[in-house]
Amino acid sequence: MTDPLVEAARAVQQRAYAPYSGYRVGAALETDDGSIYVGCNVENASYGLTICAERAAVTAAVAGGARRLRRAVLVTDSDPPAAPCGACRQVLNEFGPDLTVEAVGPARSVRWTMRELLPNAFGPEQLA
């Protein structure tokens, strides 16, 4: 049986814009109501302006009205599969502190909880 989140991430990975690094990433997010949103990395000649696939997917989810994420799948061509960068971990945590994150590579996949990826995270509760 195929996983729709993995398939969605694989499909959007093909659309990544990565002319500088060649490192294409696809991300698919599942919201608490079962909706799926996708994003891919978009590089820029001014490297700091590059957007990661995870944050692109979160932006699409928020634009679609989502506020709670329950699962994320990231697809790369690296082995072992890559975990989200620090900035993406913080953004994912904002919308899914209980999120499950799965990184899928060509030969294997790895799963984490958001709490494993970002222990002692900074969140809205620190602003109260």
Rounded distance between C-alpha atoms, residue 53 and residue 64, angstroms: 16
Q: Are 109 and 75 in contact (CB under 8 A)?
A: no
Active site residue 30: no
Catalytic residue, chosen from 30, 43, 54, 102, is: 54
Sheet holding 26-31, edge to edge: 36-40, 26-31, 69-75, 100-104, 109-113
Please identify every residue annotated as catalytic: 54
